[in-house]
Chains A and B, each alone.
Chain A
Amino acid sequence: MLSRVAESLYWMSRYLERAEHTARVIRVQLNLMLERETEDDDRHWKRMLKSLAVEMTDVKEGEAHAVANSLIHSTASRSSIISCIMAARENSRQVREQISSEMWEQLNRMFIEVKRADANEVSDVDDFLQAIKEGTHLFQGITDSTMTHGEGWQFIQAGRSLERAAALSTLLGVHFREFYGTDAEPEPLEWMGLLRSCTAFEAYCKAYTADLRPDRIAEFLMLSPSFPHSIRFSADALETALKQVGAEVSSRRSARVERIAGRMQATLAFGQIDEIMSGGLHAYLETVLRQCSQAHSALYQTYITYPIEAALQAS
C-alpha cells in the first residue's frame, strides 16, 4: 500500500472519531445545562472546551458558550465538527479508489448534510448532533462490511483507536482534576455526564449498578477490557491493528511501533485502579497521552515518512 494512502486512511478515521466524540460531548453538555444553575454556565463551557483539548486562550467572560457553539459549525476552527467532517472527506477523496464506493457515498452524504446545515443555521442542534453520531456509526458499519479487512482497514482501526484513547485520556483528566479529591463534592449529575459522554452510562450500571463512585468510574473508563469506549479497549485495538499491519508488510522495520503499542497495552492490561488512584491519576493519564503520541510518531517513521536510504538498504 502506498504510504500516502495509509496516511490518508489513518487521518480520515481519526477525524471522524474526533467529530463523533465532539458531537457526543457537546450533546451531553447541552443536556446538563437544562438542570444546572445558570450562573455557572461559563465555568461548565470552559471545562468542556478544555476536555476537548480546544485552545481557548482568548475566551472572555460570558462568551464560552459562543465558543462552544462555534465548535459545531465554524469552518474557521479546525476542531469544529464541520471542519473534522470536511477533513475526513478530503482525506477519503484522496484515496477514493482504496475505499469502497459505499463508504465514499456515506461520507460524501454526511459532508453534504453538514454543509447544508451550515448554510441555513442549524435549527435543531440536538438533531444535528444526533445525525453526526448516527452518520459516523453508519460509516463504521459500512466500512466493516464493505471493505477488505486488509492493511488499509487496519490503518483505519489504528487511527480510530489512537484518537479515542487520546480523547478519553484528556476527557477523564479534566473531569477528575475538577471533581475528584477536592472539597466540593460534585453532584451525581456531573459523573453521569462524564459516563454519557463516553456512551458508558448504561454499561457502567450493568457492571456496578447505578451507584456512581469515582474510583469505579475511573476503573470502568480506563481499564475495562470489553467496553469499546475505554482506554484499555482502545489500546488493545490499536495494538492488534498495528500487529496486523506488521504481519501484512512483512518488514522488520515494524518492530519499533509494535513495541510501543504493546507497552501501552500492557500498562493498561496490568493496571490496578487502587494503585493508579494512589500513585496519581493525572500522572498516569499523562503517560497514556505520551504513549499515544509516541505510537503516532513511530507509525509515521515506520510506514509513512521513512528515509529513502533506509528503505533501499532493506529491500
Chain B
Amino acid sequence: MAGTVTQSALPAPFQDYGLDEAYDEMVAPDGTPRPHYEHLYQALRELPASEFRRRQQISDLSFLHQGITFTVYGRTEGTERIFPNDLLPRIITNEEWSHIEKGLAQRITALNLFLKDLYHEGRILNDGVVPRELVYSCKHFRRQMRGLYVRKDAYVTVAGTDLIRTPSGEFVVLEDNLRVPSGVSYMLVSRQVMKRIFPDLFRQCGVQGIEHYSQALLATLRALAPQGCAEPTIVLLTPGVYNSAYFEHAFLARQMGIELVEGRDLVAHDNFIYMRTTEGLRRVDVIYRRIDDDFIDPLAFRQDSSLGAPGLFNAYRAGNVSLANALGTGVADDKAVYAYVPAIIKYYLNEDPVLNNVETFQMSDAAERNRVLDHLEQYVVKAVGESGGYGMLIGPQSTAAERDEFRRRVEADPRNYIAQPTIMLSRAPCIIDGKVQPRHVDLRPYILFGEKITVVPGGLTRVALKKGSLVVNSSQGGGSKDTWVLH
C-alpha cells in the first residue's frame, strides 16, 4: 500500500507508529491520542516491554489450554489452529456505538421484511426495485421456502454484519452475514481474558458488558417456539467436531444450557423431530442450526449430506419445529443483492439508511464490468456467494497472473462476481513482536432478532495481522481483539 507515511513524532513505544491515509482509531491526524484512547495510551507508555510479553503469554496460554481453535480448510496438517488474539482492545465511544446500533437494527428489520416478501407475494420484485433475475439466479435462493410460514416472520434471527471504517472515519457496511454467522464465542472469550489481563484499565475506561449475549440468544430462540409450546426444548445443531466453528458451537450450547446435537442424534417421525437420548426419544421444538441450508436435510436438499437429519424440512414446513436462522436467508446476503440494500430499506421502511454501503459494481452489467476489468488493480473483486475470504481478489495487492485469472473467471460467469473500490480499512494499535504497531481492522457486531432486537455492545474486531494487509479473515491469517464500547 503505497501512501504518505509521516514519520511519527510519538514517544516510545510508538516509534513505529507512523500515520498514513487510513483512519487511525487511536491517534488523531495531529499526532495526539484521541480522548477515548487516553487511558490505553498512557498504560502503553508506562508498561515495560517485558510486561507486554508476559501478558501476551498469559493470553496465548489461556487460549491454548481452553482449546480455542478454528480449522483451516484445504490443508492436510495442522488443521486445528489457535485463533491469534491481540492484547490491545479496540475502543469505540458510546456516541459512535449508538449510531451503529441504530443502523444495524434498521438493516435487520428491512432485510427480514425483504425475505418475507421474496418468499411470499414478491411485491418488491413486481415493483421492479430489485431485479427478479438477480434473486432467482442467486445460489442461496431456496424455492422450497416459497409460501412457507416462518414463525414470527423472523427469517434472520442471528446476524453478523461486517463494518469497516473509511479514511473519513465513517462506519460503512461491507457485507451482511445472514446464514450462520460465527465468531461470537471469540468475542465472549477474549473479553474474559482481557478482564484478567488488564483489570485496572478495564475499570478506568468504563466498558459496557457483553456477557448477557447468551441469555439474549436463548430468549430469542425461545420466542420462536412453535404455537402452544410453553417450555420448548431448544438444541444447537452442529455439523460436528471437524467443523471450523465447532469450538463456538460447544461454547454457546454450554453457555445457554442447551443440548449440542449432531444430525445423527435427530430422528424425524410423523413430521416431528426427536433426539436420541439415554431415556429414549425426546421431542425437539427449536433448532439453532449451525449447518448450511444445503446440508440440513438430504431429502429436501443435497442428497449426499450426512450432516443433517432426513425429514427435518417436512417437520419444519408442518410448523412442528422452528429453525434459526430460517432456510433461504442467504439470498439477502448475496453480494450482488447487497448493492440493493439501501433501496430495500427505503422500500419497506421509507427511511434513508443510517449506515451506508460500500459502492458496488455488478459484473453482470456490461458497462460496469468493462470499467472494472480495465482497472482491475484498483478494485476488490468478490464471488457473490462465498464467505470467509475465499474467492476474492484484492487488486492493489495482486499479481498480474492473479488478475488475468480473475478476469477470465469474471468473463465466464459475470453474475457470480461484484467489484468494490479498494477501501483502506481503519487501523488500530496492536502488539507485534513486543512493539506497538498499526494493523487494519474491521468490526463484526452481532444482532439478535426475536421479540425485540438486541445488539450486544461490541462485537468481534478482526485484525489483519500481516503488515499492510487488508484481509482480516481468520482463514487468511487474521486475528481478533476485544472491542470495548464505553459508557
Contact = CB atoms under 8 A, between A and B. Distances in A.
B228 to A, nearest CB: 19
Nearest to B62: A105
Contacts of A304: 278
B276 A3 contact: yes
A112 B250 CA distance: 21
B258 to A, nearest CB: 9
Interface string A145-169: 0000001000000000000000000
Interface SS, A side: helix
Given A93-B67, A109-B65, A2 B250 contact: no
Contact of B251 (A1, A97, A251, A253): A97
A105 B240 CA distance: 20
Nearest to A302: B278
Interface stretch (B120-128, B260-268, B384-392): B260-268
Given A4-B262, A4-B264, A97-B251, A303 B278 contact: yes
A223 B401 CA distance: 76
B45 interface: no
B269 interface: yes
A77 B2 CA distance: 55
A304 B276 CA distance: 8
A304 B261 CA distance: 14
Contact of B280 (A6, A101, A104, A311): A311
A151 B277 CA distance: 12
B67 A1 contact: no
Interface string A282-308: 000000000000000000000110101
B278 A245 contact: yes
A2 B254 contact: no
A1 B278 CA distance: 6
Interface in A236-258: 245, 249-251, 253
B67 A108 contact: yes
Most buried by A among B250, B259, B278: B278
B279 A108 contact: no
Contacts of B259: 2
Contact of B269 (A1, A112, A245, A312): A312
A2 B253 contact: no
A97 B253 contact: yes
Interface string B240-264: 1100000100110110000111101
B318 interface: no
B67 A2 contact: no
A2 B280 contact: no
Contacts of B269: 308, 312
Contacts of A97: 250-251, 253-254, 260
Interface in A92-120: 93-94, 96-97, 101, 104-105, 108-109, 112
A249 B277 CA distance: 9
A249 B278 contact: yes
Which residue, B64, B65, B262, has most C-beta atoms of chain A within 10 A?
B65
Interface in B27-85: 64-67
A314 interface: yes
Contacts of A1: 277-279
Contacts of A94: 240-241
A95 B277 CA distance: 14
Question: Interface residues of B: mostly helix, strand, loop or mixed?
Answer: mixed
B279 A249 contact: yes
Interface in A1-52: 1-4, 6
A315 interface: yes
Contacts of A314: 280
A90 B241 CA distance: 9
B280 A251 contact: yes
Nearest to B236: A97
A4 B253 CA distance: 15
A155 to B, nearest CB: 8
B255 to A, nearest CB: 9
Interface in A210-262: 245, 249-251, 253
A247 to B, nearest CB: 12
Nearest to A91: B241
Given A3-B276, A105-B65, 17 more contacts: A1-B277, A2-B261, A2-B275, A2-B278, A3-B265, A4-B264, A4-B276, A96-B247, A96-B250, A97-B251, A97-B253, A97-B260, A151-B278, A245-B278, A253-B280, A308-B276, A314-B280
**A-B complex: 7 closest residue pairs judged by Cβ atoms:** A97-B254, A96-B250, A311-B280, A249-B279, A303-B278, A97-B250, A97-B253
27 contacts: A1-B277, A1-B279, A2-B261, A2-B275, A2-B276, A2-B278, A3-B277, A4-B262, A4-B276, A6-B278, A94-B241, A96-B250, A97-B250, A104-B66, A105-B65, A105-B66, A245-B278, A250-B279, A251-B280, A253-B280, A303-B278, A308-B267, A308-B276, A311-B276, A312-B281, A315-B280, A315-B281
Interface of B: 64-67, 240-241, 247, 250-251, 253-254, 259-262, 264-265, 267, 269, 275-281
